[in-house]
Structure 1
Amino acid sequence: MTETPGITGHWDIDPSHSRLGFSTRHAMVSRVRGAFNDVSGFADIAEDLANSKAEVIIQTASVDTRTEARDEHLRSADFFDVETYPEIRFVSSAIDEVDESSYIVTGELTIRDMAKTVSVPLELIGIETDPDGNLRAGLEGSRRIDRKDWGVTWNTKLDSGGVLVSDKITLEFELSLIKNLAEAAPADSSETAVQDDAPTETPEPVTEATPAPEADTAAPQEAAPTPEAPESVPPTPVADETAPPTPKAPESAASVAPAAEPVGKEFPPPPPVKPAETPADKPAEKAPEPKQSDAQSSGSAFGKLFGLR
């Protein structure tokens, strides 16, 4: 058993970074190159290469030689007849390792519904992780075939005796494959047989334990507080109605006796009217004399009455 660590797994062809092309002589003097732009395929590489497989599918209408007139001729019934045979298919039957990085892939190549066995040598260029995190493997190789073996026989003779298109076609493979982690590589048949023969054990039923009832951990409710008795308010003292009234102080004779008007005097004449004075001519006001009390005015009145003044 040949082990190939690092390349095992499921790989998908990345068509945007791969080229499946061909080249041939034209008019016996130049080489014309072309390629197919619509390509898909995969490779399942097991640890035992005998259990590995690969498949490539080419859409014949995608042929491109950079000349539209020539491409239309290749799509016609003279060559690929894309209306009748839309696909070229290769399916591997064996993958052999020649050395550490060289392989030979053998399988059936079907063109125009004619299948022929061919072997294609491929070299593993390397395995790297791209900036997007994809694990990529690069393979390159070529194989020369005779197109007449698949019924592609159209040609035109030249005056020199040669032909316009060579019968020998070189197939060119430049492949970039991305490892698909979701797809598993096929298991070895020997390991599968051992697994199939192994007795199947019936798992014992598992009895789940019934959980014990949970204890009531709720805290007891607190008793309602007893209302406190209202504080006593001292009574407001009530006046004793039987107590004798408080005697009033006697009024003085001066305050009780009526004031006597002066006798023998006439009222003085009214003062003459003076012209209005300006603030500049107005003399400074004198401070008001102190007013006599009622007692003094009463005494003065009695003095005038009895001729004392």
Structure 2
Amino acid sequence: MKNVLKPSIAFAGLLLAASPVYAADYVIDTKGAHASVEFRINHLGVSWLKGRFNTFNGEFSYDESNPNASKVNVEIDTTSIDSNHAERDKHLRSADFLDVKSFPKAKFVSTQYTDKGDGTATLEGELTLHGVTKPVTLAVSKVGEGKDPWGGYRAGFEGTTEFKLKDFGIDYNLGPAAETIYMNLYVEGIRK
């Protein structure tokens, strides 16, 4: 009996050691307003117009021991654009820009996360905006992770990217200084 038991225990140990470690899944904390999707675009070459999308949701998977397996999925309600100016926001929602009647949602789905080993990473993915899907790359920094005061666990990241509006079929002429939009994403996730 002892001879049979030892190999069984050894085999079980090998199975446990070979079992993959799974990433933790997080939901982006939009209910607590601990996340934001912001943008800026140059105005006439003399200043910056800033804004945000007030309504979005998403989730991500992250495992500190295997960060390259991370995945992100975010959906943005384009009707929620807010540049702190009602008339401008009405124009941004129109067919000249976001055409929210035809395209009420924008979406980002990651395809690859490359950890640089210093708290930063490159996140590649597909952005769907204005009915057009194109690859975009975000520079990502990990802000931190840990237990929260309510018994949960959180992880936070920030990311930046830029792209040309015309690449997504938005060709309203704002002048050469306003061809590129710069996005900043601040994400705090609550582990499921």
> Normalised by the shorter chain, which TM-score bucket?
0.7 to 0.9
Q: TM-score, normalised to structure 2's length? A: 0.82
Q: TM-score, normalised to structure 1's length? A: 0.52
CA distance in 2, matches of 1:166, 1:126: 34
Indicate the RMSD between aligned Cα atoms, in angstroms. 1.9
Q: Choose which of 17, 20, 23 in structure 1 pairs with 2:40.
A: 23
CA distance in 2, matches of 1:20, 1:76: 20
Cα 1:165–1:76 shift into 2, 3 Å: farther
Tell me what 2:98 maps to: 80
Q: CA deviation at 1:50?
A: 5.2
Secondary structure of the structure 2 residue equivalent to 1:154: coil
Cα 1:105–1:56 shift into 2, 3 Å: same
Structure 1: which amino acid aligns with 2:24?
G
Deviant stretches of 4+, over 3 Å: 46-52
Tell me what 2:55 maps to: 38
Q: CA deviation at 1:31?
A: 0.4
Tell me what 2:4 maps to: none
Tell me what 2:187 maps to: 175
CA distance in 2, matches of 1:174, 1:51: 20
CA distance in 1, matches of 2:54, 2:152: 22
Q: CA deviation at 1:52?
A: 3.5
Cα 1:120–1:164 shift into 2, 3 Å: closer
CA distance in 1, matches of 2:66, 2:146: 22
Give runs of aligned pairs for residues 15-164 of structure 1, distance below 5 A.
15=30, 16-45=33-62, 48-49=66-67, 51-156=69-174, 163=175
Identity of aligned residues (%): 32
CA distance in 1, matches of 2:46, 2:70: 42
Secondary structure of the structure 2 residue equivalent to 1:178: strand
Structure 1: which amino acid aligns with 2:152?
N
Cα 1:176–1:117 shift into 2, 3 Å: same
Tell me what 1:14 maps to: 29
Give runs of aligned pairs for residues 263-282 of structure 1, distance below 5 A.
none
Secondary structure of the structure 1 residue equivalent to 2:137: strand
Cα 1:94–1:139 shift into 2, 3 Å: same
Q: Which runs of 5 or more structure 2 residues have no equivalent in the other structure?
A: 1-20
> Is the Cα–Cα contact under 8 Å of residues 145 and 170 in structure 1 kept in the other structure?
yes
> Is the Cα–Cα contact under 8 Å of residues 52 and 95 in structure 1 kept in the other structure?
yes
Q: CA deviation at 1:99?
A: 1.4
Structure (1 or 2) with the greater strand fraction: 2
Structure 1: which amino acid aligns with 2:191?
K
CA distance in 1, matches of 2:75, 2:177: 25
Tell me what 1:166 maps to: 178
CA distance in 1, matches of 2:69, 2:186: 24
Secondary structure of the structure 2 residue equivalent to 1:17: coil
Q: CA deviation at 1:139?
A: 0.6
Q: Could you list the per-position Cα deviations for residues 142-173 of structure 1 after superposition, in whole angstroms to 9, with x for gaps in the alignment?
A: 112111100111025xxxxxx28701110111
Q: Which runs of 5 or more structure 1 residues have no equivalent in the other structure?
A: 157-162, 181-309
Q: CA deviation at 1:98?
A: 0.9
Name the structure, 1 or 2, with higher relative contact order (CA <8 Å, separation 6+). 2
Secondary structure of the structure 1 residue equivalent to 2:125: strand
Cα 1:165–1:84 shift into 2, 3 Å: farther
Q: CA deviation at 1:49?
A: 4.5
Structure (1 or 2) with the greater helix fraction: 2
Q: Could you list the per-position Cα deviations for residues 4-42 of structure 1 after superposition, in whole angstroms to 9, with x for gaps in the alignment?
A: x9x930011111111101001112211010000111011
CA distance in 2, matches of 1:91, 1:141: 14
